[in-house]
Amino acid sequence: MAHPKKDEWLAALPKATAKSLDKLLSDPKRSAKKLSTAFVKALQEAGYPYWATFDISKLIDLRDGRARGLMPLPSDLTPAQRALAELCAYEDDVGLYFFDSNKWEVFCIPETGANRRRWLGLTPGGVLDQPMDYEIGGVAKSVPCWYAIQRAMYADCRVTDFFKQLPIRRRLELLGGTYPAAYGLGSLESFVDLTALQNEGAEWAPAYADYLLTFESASWRRCRIRRRCSSMRRSRVRWWRARCRPGA
């Protein structure tokens, strides 16, 4: 999918970087590997933050839920970083990570094109993109939910306390917002004890099951293994959805 303002964002980059990316982005038969290499190099040159992982399996998390460190708010990006983020937002096949010494470095940016567009505000967001108050440096600031959770996880080390202060219904909503996981938040299940739920999940569970049954991104349809995983998951959700019905 071509960026509607590709030329405008390329103009914000150094000439050599812009020329290299423009050549690849304009080629209908471009190599995803070459494009990934070009974006990784450009992000490194732009000083974009990245996060270390020693587990290579985390690089192919189908839910886009692996830890990606504290992602910057789009408003905090430099002009070059914003330009690259915008261009990446319309590319679904780029791998934004690289190997350094004995570990993999993953750029602190949503992995899929759809999630990058949400992050940048190019398409409507979900529950994780809604604003909330979070204390930063002793001052309460309005930030997206995903940013508050990431700060609690990676910067302030108080994610358990963060979730304890939230009503159970809000915790459930945030848990639901992580599928298909965005912003590296694929492990929120540990903060909601589903086995202890009583009436708190009566309204949330059926609606969430319906959402899961209707969701299937184009990137999942392109891969046979992912289609099989999706089919198995949908069968389990249908069984769960039936149990959610009154009197079941």
Beta strands in the chain (DSSP E): 50-53, 97-100, 103-107, 131-136, 139-144
The residues spanned by each domain of the chain are 1-124, 125-196, 202-248
Question: What pLDDT digit, counting tens, does each position of 180-227 carry?
Answer: 557 877 667 667 666 666 676 677 777 777 766 665 444 444 444 344
Indicate if the pLDDT at residue 229 is higher than 50.
no
Q: Write out pLDDT tens, residues 16-41.
A: 999 999 999 998 888 889 999 999 99
What residues contact 31, with CB distance under 8 A and at least 6 apart?
Answer: none
pLDDT surpassing 60 at residue 98: yes
Q: Write phi, then psi, for 54 (nearest 5 degrees).
A: -100, 0
The pTM (predicted TM-score) of the whole model is 0.79
**Confidence band of 121 (pLDDT split at 50, 70, 90):** very high
Q: Is 202:145 a contact under the CB 8 Å cutoff?
A: no
Q: What is the pLDDT, as a whole number, of residue 209?
A: 72
d(CA 160, CA 171) in angstroms, rounded, equals 12
* Amino acid at position 53, single letter: T
User: What percent of the chain clears pLDDT 90, i.e. is strictly above it?
Assistant: 33
Please report the pLDDT score of residue 223 as a whole number.
41
Q: Which residues contact 85 (CB under 8 A, 6 or more apart)?
A: 74, 77, 109, 116, 119, 120
